[in-house]
Amino acid sequence: MKINKRLKKWLILVIKILIIIFSFYFAIYKIVNSCDLIDFKQNVFYFDFNRFFILFLLLIFMFINWFFEAVKWKISINSLEKINVWKSLKAVWTGVTVGTITPNRIGEFGGKIIFLKKENQVSAIPYTFVADLSQLLITVCCGIIGFALLIPYLHFLDIDFQEKYNLICIIALIITIFLVSLFLFIDKLFNKLLKIVNLKKEIIKNVAKIQIKFSEKIKMLLFSFIRYLIFNFQFYLALKYFGIEIGIFHSLIASSSMYLCVNIIPNLPFLEIGLRSSFSIIFFELFTTQTTVIVCASLLIYIINIFIPIIIGSGFLVKHK
């Protein structure tokens, strides 16, 4: 029995180490292959007071961003298990580490739920899904609106298409309202769907029990929207850090369109930052010709928002029993 326990302990440790190794490998692979590193180093390590202040703000916003994500996840599982914000934050950062090695970060589920009681881990999957869905919903809705606002700047479109701009904006608004309304009743729709399917496996029965208050779903959308504003504003600051002169409105509609495309297109771990860089060039080229620096700004955001949390999450993953 002692041998089995010891073997299990070592096996878990090996799995953790492998997850961390692959997470760092994919993250570093993305960084190395996303742009000219020499050019990036020359741009990023040139400091003056304004650039240092912007970098400081980017780091502060990173912590605020993940704090709101932790609060949001805490709210989502509130009816299942009560946890404090610190524990939720550790779970979220561990989720970032695990999610790095999976397509579209679906592995974040596993990284988060291991911090819950064993009997609640399976049941927490749909709650975590709803929390993540709230962020995707905000990204898609704001992205649709942002792309609609971007249309007048697409000079290759013909005049007839430009004249239909108001109709496109109305359609974008209707789609947004529909998706938000759908999310507010997602738990009821999910439970009814499973009743129709009539799956009898015990594990599915446990997963099907979703109970999230209407007010909690509103809070999740609110926190998701705050997070969305933060990482869009971070991109604007990153552009300013590299000396790109662009208005905040133009930056927001371009970055919202970029995040829309990145999130709705399925991608593999080593392709994520490449897609982000490609779409950032496509949309920001409408307002600036400094494409190399745009890629550098995208890489800086990845390092601050993802790579640093991977390092922090790795420590929590190793320490967690």
Residue 162 reports pLDDT greater than 60: no
Q: What is the pLDDT of residue 27?
A: 60
The domain locations on the chain are: 2-319
DSSP 99-113: HTTSGGGTTHHHHHH
Most confidently predicted of 27-41, 120-134, 184-198, 219-233: 219-233
Q: What are phi and psi of 247, to 5 degrees?
A: -70, 150
What is the average per-residue pLDDT within 235-256? 88
pLDDT at 62: 93
Task: Please determine, for residue 201, whether its predicted confidence score (pLDDT) is greater than 60.
Answer: no
203 band by pLDDT with thresholds 50, 70 and 90: very low
Q: Which of 117, 183, 120 is nearest to 321 (CA)?
A: 117
pLDDT in tens, 251-279: 899 989 888 888 777 665 555 666 666 77
Q: What is the DSSP string of 240-274?
A: HHTT----HHHHHHHHHHHHHHHHHS---GGGHHH
Query: Which pLDDT value is given to residue 234?
Result: 94
Range among 57-66, 194-203, 241-250, 306-315 rated most confident: 57-66
Least confident of 143-157, 203-217, 288-302: 203-217
* Range in 25-34, 199-208, 249-258 with the lowest mean pLDDT: 199-208
DSSP 63-99: HHHHHHHHHHHHHHTTTT----HHHHHHHHHHHHHHH
pLDDT band at 18 (very low <50, low <70, confident <90, very high): low
Predicted confidence at residue 1, as pLDDT, reads 47
**Which long-range CB contacts under 8 A does 111-120 form with residues at least 24 apart?**
111/313, 111/317, 112/73, 114/320, 115/83, 115/87, 115/88, 115/90, 115/91, 115/320, 116/77, 116/80, 116/81, 116/83, 116/91, 117/81, 120/77, 120/80, 120/81
Give the residue-averaged pLDDT of 56-67: 93
Which is more confidently placed, 159 or 277? 277
Q: What is the mean pLDDT of residues 31-35?
A: 58
